[in-house]
Amino acid sequence: MHLRMEEKEVPQTDAVRAKLGRAIVITSGKGGVGKTTTTANIGTALAQRGASVVLVDADVGLRNLDIVLGLESRVKHHLLDVLEEHVSLDDALVADKHSASLRLLAAAQSREKEDVDTEKMRALIHTLRERFDYVLIDCPAGIELGFKNAVVGADEAIVVCTPEVSAVRDVDRVVGLLGNAFKPQLIINRLRPQLVKKGKMLSVEDVNAILRLPLLGVIADEPEIIVATNRGEPLALREDAPTGAAYRAIAARVAGDDVPAPMPSVALTFFERLGSMFGGKRS
Amino acid sequence: MIDFLKKLFGHSGSSSTAKERLRLVLMTDHLELAPDMIDAMKRDLVDVISRYVEVDRDKIDVTFEQQDKALAMLANIPILSVNRANGQPAPSVAVAASAEPAPAAVATAPAAADAPAPIKRKRRRRKKAKSQGVAGVPETAPA
């Protein structure tokens, strides 16, 4: 581990931890599969459980995590300000509105991914691991330098995949690039159980027959997710939202709780029950 | 009957198409064989077989199938006539095979299969070669 950044240059409000926190990169290869929403919700759910969490938006040039969390008006400094030592880490960490133990380190919007120094990024993530229980890194789409910089300090990976040919192919590629060292775990996002039942969408089994990864959970494609993003309030906060419960279950599994992987379901109609009686149920 | 009911209750959607496309695309990704490489392989395969029998080049169907951990190449090559006398009566006209999956058992014998499963009045001959797995390149059958 290269630590170019001197630790004393980062003022510390929290006590230095005896044990390093976990650095988990949330990645997918393909864009638009829900990495950022997933990061915001798992981070929120972990913080609601009492853990200290920092979310790092590594998507330099396309900052979005602040929007999903509703923190866009609070961002004053960003990742590159910290890496280039223009501001202290504490000045750049944005306190969350809803969860006291949640912080955001926003991406630079007007910079490029090539501006990030890989070794400095590695050192920064290490510094964050000394201060937080969880460092969740929201990876940009692609497998170029932005991906490499997002992954460099992480020791675990969560891959987000939608039930589409292109997304599965890209996850397959990313998992190949990551190798086993990151112990990648899978979240299947935007599943539409009704379509799966009709045989019009790849099922969880179809996807994981190919990827063969430990399944953290499945998130259904629900309108409430769009509403939550519109408002900048992660669903994980909402006790009444089914998707919120799914994110909380995923967070519990990340934390090591022995709870079942959340799985969306649909009630069978009479004719579908009849059909599955004759034709054999295909989920 | 069951197929009919499955159709009736909407069990024949596009997800099977997606699955098939995904399987193929990942196969080529893992083999690092570009589609034109597969075409070239197909061509060479046919050239070799053509030394022995006359085949219908336009109706050749080569597919890949994941069988447990191994990847199998299944080639369905309609034979028009036998060029050399090798004990096999020449089928008059071969009909292109249907796209249905091949039987589960994959012949590992490299020689041209001498058990052409005749289906009804149509004759066809399956030629199979088994690859070494995901990382391996499928072996074409030596003549």
Tell me the pLDDT tens digit for each residue of B84-108: 555 554 443 333 333 333 333 333 3
Q: Do B25 and A169 touch (CB under 8 A)?
A: yes
Distance from CA of B20 to the nearest CA of A (A): 9
Q: Which of B11, B16, B28, B71 to mutate to test the interface with A (most CBs of A within 10 A)?
A: B11
Size of interface A-B (CB pairs under 8 A): 65
Q: Outline where DSSP puts E strands in chain B.
A: 53-55, 61-67, 70-76, 79-82, 126-130
Residue B69 lies in a domain: yes
Name which of B8, B12, B26 is nearest A199 (Cβ-Cβ).
B12
pLDDT value for B81: 84
Is residue A224 a contact partner of residue A235, using CB atoms and an 8 Å limit? yes
Q: Which residues of B touch A (CB under 8 A)?
A: 2, 5-6, 8-16, 18-19, 21-23, 25-26, 29
Contact list, A274 vs chain B (CB under 8 Å): 9
Residue B80 lies in a domain: yes
Total domains, chain B: 1
Question: By CA distance, what is A207's nearest residue in B?
Answer: B19
Tokens in use for A155? 């020791």
- CATH superfamily entry for domain A17-279: P-loop containing nucleotide triphosphate hydrolases (3.40.50.300)
ipTM > 0.85 for the complex: no
Q: Which of A103-117, A192-206, B18-32, B121-135 has the lowest mean pLDDT?
A: B121-135
Question: By CA distance, what is B5's nearest residue in A?
Answer: A279
Whole-number Å distance between alpha carbons of B75 and B127:
5
Enumerate the domain spans of chain A. Answer: 17-279
The two beta strands, B70-76 and B61-67, are antiparallel
Residue B136 lies in a domain: no
Q: Do A272 and B9 touch (CB under 8 A)?
A: yes
Name which of A172, A206, A279 is nearest B6 (Cβ-Cβ).
A279
The two beta strands, A94-95 and A22-27, are unpaired
Mean per-residue pLDDT, B48-74:
79
Residue B97 lies in a domain: yes
Contact list, B8 vs chain A (CB under 8 Å): 275
Which residues form the domain of B83? 2-130
Q: Which of A54-63, A199-208, B57-66, B110-119 has the lowest mean pLDDT?
A: B110-119
- pLDDT grade, residue B3 (50/70/90)? low
Q: Do B12 and A172 touch (CB under 8 A)?
A: no
Q: Which of A7-16, A48-57, A160-169, A239-248 has the lowest mean pLDDT?
A: A7-16
pLDDT value for A15: 53
HSE toward the beta carbon, residue A226, CA cutoff 13 A: 4
- pLDDT grade, residue B42 (50/70/90)? confident
pLDDT value for A166: 96
Neighbour-count burial for B20-56, b at 16+ CB within 10 Å, e otherwise: eebbbbbbeeebebeeeebeebbeebbeebeeebebe
How does the average pLDDT of chain A come out, rounded?
Answer: 91
pLDDT value for A272: 62
- pLDDT grade, residue A185 (50/70/90)? very high
Q: Which of A164, A202, A277 to mutate to test the interface with B (most CBs of B within 10 A)?
A: A202
Question: By CA distance, what is B23's nearest residue in A?
Answer: A210
Q: Do A275 and B10 touch (CB under 8 A)?
A: yes
Whole-number Å distance between alpha carbons of A33 and A38:
9
Q: Do A202 and B18 touch (CB under 8 A)?
A: yes
pLDDT tens per residue, range A23-78 = 999 999 999 999 999 999 999 999 999 999 999 999 999 999 999 999 999 999 99
Does residue A283 carry a pLDDT above 80?
no
Q: Do B9 and A173 touch (CB under 8 A)?
A: no
Which amino acid is located at B124 in the chain?
Answer: R
Q: Do A206 and B10 touch (CB under 8 A)?
A: no
Q: Which of A210, A269, A278 to mutate to test the interface with B (most CBs of B within 10 A)?
A: A278
Instruction: Give A33 or A17, the one with higher predicted confidence.
Output: A33
Contact list, B5 vs chain A (CB under 8 Å): 275, 278-279
Distance from CA of A226 to the nearest CA of B (A): 25
pTM score:
0.70
Contact list, A206 vs chain B (CB under 8 Å): 15, 18-19
Taken in order A144, A28, A249, A97, the sign of the CA dihedral is positive
Residue B75 lies in a domain: yes
Residue B139 lies in a domain: no
Name which of A172, A173, A279 is nearest B9 (Cβ-Cβ).
A279
Neighbours of A18 (CB within 10 A): 6
Residue A207 burial (C-beta neighbours within 10 Å; 0-12, 13-18, 19+): buried
